[in-house]
């Protein structure tokens, strides 16, 4: 008998197949004592295992490339964290085995993260994965992970570590479903990059029986258990119709009546450029430069290294628009040479532009590198600051850009509610705005973007969030400036129409989402988008907002 479960759809498409579960978690090592004379040997074993896991994560990142590479390299640095390793050595010195010392040291650090505010608590899943890999290597047992199968399947897990998600084989993994996670978690972002249908935050997902047939709709978040043949046919037909519409949709982004909406790509570095170009991106709406800095958490990359990386991206879009976000360090992207290790709540502390203003030499070098990378190229370079709170922040950033001799437009990201509320004031100092809807939702609703339990408040359809988007867009229109969206909200085709109706002037997203958004925008006029936006803002919940917008655009 068919039953319907509902989670959060985070990656478009339909997957129909049998359930396969992730391997079981690593068992807790026994707590046995070792003689003092064996401590040196056990410390050596621990170091070898840690280094091997870090090397494996780095190698997986190199294979995956793009955003996945940066995420996995960050995990590799987590494995080799000096404080963690010092704690492991101390525990071995007083009698623990290598595996037990690793398990207990990571458990202590896990408690610190879990209690350090919702934002850092989102890193717990990544930490657990690193611990499991090290302990498994020390115990000599296989690392739990994606199941072996000769036949395509739907992968079900409590959560997926980035190392697993990054190297999923789309020819075997039809889609995935997780009980935890949220729409902006690492796994969700990587699923979209892979083009694998995915649903997260689905209550009871891990209780689905092995081999159970399910149909996963990554657009609506619905999972049909034991789907009827009619349901399978309906979903398959809808998926085929979407693929046909995608193939027929080419060219610049625009509504049915010709209102232009440039469709841009989010990239983390040169490795992401080919997919963006292949998907028809009109430029880059968000170049996340922090991934370049994550290569070495102890030192900033040299100006020469930055110039080379930036120029590769700029050269890929001649005559196009490339919007670069300067380093966004802090919170879930700590860098040892920049961010304090003892902040009680890093998400509300010194991060983003605040970090750069405290380290003007790092900002100066990055802006100088961008200026030199753009020399002689016809690209339209725009540079923006993350986590701008007010006009003073915007002025400080614009002054730094001018002092570095940067010939580009200067902009501000709207990720803090105060920036949306005072957008017109900020635009007295900078030339454009870009809405980071992931963080804007997080700070608006006090809901960590990595925690599945509060995922409903991270839903970009929340009317309060749409109100803030409208405020920023209205301010930009009044000042004759542009206001784009570069958060994950832009990757939802229906929401892209609503954002257009709110007055947003460009949309930036992962390359895999570009065809879906282009095809959907082309179906509706600007007036229809505006009516859908008004209906969504008049709703009282995210679900009602989506339904109201859908009703308007479907002519109901």
Separation of alpha carbons 173 and 420, rounded Å: 40
Torsion, Cα of 438, 314, 67, 120 (10° steps): -40
Question: From edge to edge, which strands make up the β-sheet containing 14-21?
Answer: 3-6, 222-225, 213-217, 14-21, 153-157, 173-178, 198-200, 8-11
Euclidean distance between the first and final Cα of the chain, in Å?
31
**Angle separating helix axes 124-139 and 39-64, nearest 10 degrees:** 120
Neighbours of 37 (CB within 10 A): 7
Q: Which two tokens stand for residue 320?
A: 């196009």
Separation of alpha carbons 274 and 506, rounded Å: 21
Helix (H) or strand (E) segment spanning residue 190: helix 186-194
Residue of 532, 506, 535, 501 whose CA lies nearest to 518: 506
Q: What residues contact 537, with CB distance under 8 A and at least 6 apart?
A: 463, 466, 467, 470, 502, 545
Helix (H) or strand (E) segment spanning residue 465: helix 463-478
Q: Which two tokens stand for residue 139?
A: 């115990």
Instruction: Write out the DSSP string of 256-284.
Output: TT--B--EEEEESSGGGHHHHHHTT-SEE
Identify whether the C-beta of residue 206 lies closer than 8 Å to the C-beta of residue 21: yes
DSSP 8-state symbol, 492:
S
**Number of residues that this document lists for the chain:** 556
401 as an active site residue: the answer is no
The residue behind tokens 């209550």 is 203
The active-site residue, picked from 12, 186, 401, 529, is 186
DSSP 8-state symbol, 443:
H
Q: Which two tokens stand for residue 228?
A: 């009827």
Identify whether the C-beta of residue 326 lies closer than 8 Å to the C-beta of residue 388: no
Identify whether the C-beta of residue 126 lies closer than 8 Å to the C-beta of residue 72: no
Neighbours of 128 (CB within 10 A): 17
Q: What residues contact 448, with CB distance under 8 A and at least 6 apart?
A: 117, 118, 119, 121, 122, 347, 442, 454
The active-site residue, picked from 483, 486, 497, 529, is 486
Identify whether the C-beta of residue 472 lies closer than 8 Å to the C-beta of residue 539: no
359 as an active site residue: the answer is no
Identify whether the C-beta of residue 411 lies closer than 8 Å to the C-beta of residue 323: yes
Helix (H) or strand (E) segment spanning residue 75: helix 66-79
> Active-site positions?
186, 486
């Amino acid at each position: 008998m068919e039953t319907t479960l509902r989670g959060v759809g985070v990656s478009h498409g339909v997957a129909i197949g049998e359930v396969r579960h992730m391997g079981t978690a690593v068992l807790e090592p026994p707590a046995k004592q070792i003689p003092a004379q064996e401590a040196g040997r056990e410390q050596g074993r621990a170091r070898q295992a840690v280094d091997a896991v870090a090397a494996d994560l780095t190698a997986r990142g190199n294979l995956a490339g793009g955003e996945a590479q940066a995420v996995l390299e960050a995990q590799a640095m987590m494995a080799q964290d000096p404080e963690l390793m010092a704690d492991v050595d101390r525990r071995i010195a007083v009698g623990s085995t290598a595996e037990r010392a690793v398990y207990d040291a990571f458990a202590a650090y896990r408690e610190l993260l879990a209690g350090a505010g919702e934002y850092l608590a989102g890193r717990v899943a990544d930490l657990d994965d690193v611990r499991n890999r090290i302990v498994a290597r020390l115990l000599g047992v296989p690392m739990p992970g994606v199941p072996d199968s000769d036949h395509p399947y739907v992968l079900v897990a409590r959560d997926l570590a980035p190392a697993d998600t990054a190297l999923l084989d789309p020819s075997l993994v039809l889609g995935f479903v997780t009980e935890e996670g949220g729409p902006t978690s690492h796994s969700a972002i990587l699923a979209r990059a892979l083009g694998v249908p995915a649903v997260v935050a689905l209550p009871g997902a891990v209780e689905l029986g092995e081999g159970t047939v399910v149909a996963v709709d990554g657009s609506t978040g619905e999972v049909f258990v034991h789907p009827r043949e009619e349901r399978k046919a309906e979903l398959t037909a809808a998926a085929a119709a979407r693929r046909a519409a995608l193939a027929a949709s080419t060219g610049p982004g625009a509504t049915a009546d010709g209102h232009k909406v440039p469709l841009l790509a989010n990239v983390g570095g040169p490795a992401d450029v080919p997919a963006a170009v292949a998907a028809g991106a009109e430029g880059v709406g968000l170049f996340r430069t922090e991934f370049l800095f994550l290569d070495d958490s102890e030192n900033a990359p040299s100006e020469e290294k930055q110039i080379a990386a930036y120029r590769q991206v700029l050269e890929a879009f001649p005559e196009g628009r490339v919007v670069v976000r300067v380093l966004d360090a802090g919170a879930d992207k700590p860098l040892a040479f920049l961010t304090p290790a003892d902040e009680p709540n890093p998400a509300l502390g010194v991060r983003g532009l605040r970090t750069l203003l405290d380290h003007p030499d790092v900002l100066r070098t990055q802006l100088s590198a961008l200026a030199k990378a753009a020399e002689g190229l016809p690209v339209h370079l725009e540079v923006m600051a993350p986590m701008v709170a007010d006009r003073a922040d915007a002025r400080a950033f614009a002054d730094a850009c001018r002092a570095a001799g940067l010939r580009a437009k200067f902009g501000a990201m709207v990720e803090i509610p105060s920036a949306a509320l005072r957008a017109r004031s900020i635009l007295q100092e900078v030339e454009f705005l870009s809405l980071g809807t992931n963080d804007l939702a997080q700070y608006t609703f006090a809901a960590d973007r990595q925690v599945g339990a509060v995922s409903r408040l991270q839903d970009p359809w929340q009317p309060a969030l749409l109100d803030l988007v409208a405020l920023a867009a209205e301010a930009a229109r009044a000042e004759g400036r542009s206001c784009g969206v570069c958060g994950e909200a832009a990757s939802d085709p229906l929401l892209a129409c609503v954002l257009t109706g709110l007055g947003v002037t460009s949309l930036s997203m992962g390359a895999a989402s570009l065809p879906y958004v282009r095809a959907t925008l082309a179906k509706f006029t600007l007036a229809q988008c505006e009516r859908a936006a008004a209906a969504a803002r008049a709703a009282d919940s995210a679900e009602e907002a989506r339904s109201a917008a859908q009703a308007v655009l479907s002519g109901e």
